[in-house]
Amino acid sequence: MEAQDGVCAMCRQSCASGRKLAIDHDPATGETRGLLCRSCNISLGLLKDRPELLAAGISYLVRSGQAFPTEALADLLHISTD
Q: Using the rule CB under 5 A, give the single segment among 10-18, 25-33, 45-53, 65-73 that binds Zn ion.
A: 10-18
Helix (H, G, I), strand (E, B) or coil at 28: coil
Q: Please give the Cα distance from 78 to 21 (Å, whole number).
A: 23
Report the C-alpha dihedral over residues 35, 37, 39, 41, rounded to 10 degrees. 20
Q: Using the rule CB under 5 A, give the single segment among 4-12, 17-25, 55-63, 72-80 that binds Zn ion.
A: 4-12
- If one asks whether residue 8 binds Zn ion (CB under 5 A), the answer comes out as yes
| Angle CA 60–58–66, to nearest 5 | 70
- If one asks whether residue 11 binds Zn ion (CB under 5 A), the answer comes out as yes
- If one asks whether residue 35 binds Zn ion (CB under 5 A), the answer comes out as no
Which residues would be at the binding site for Zn ion (CB under 5 A)?
8, 10-11, 37, 40
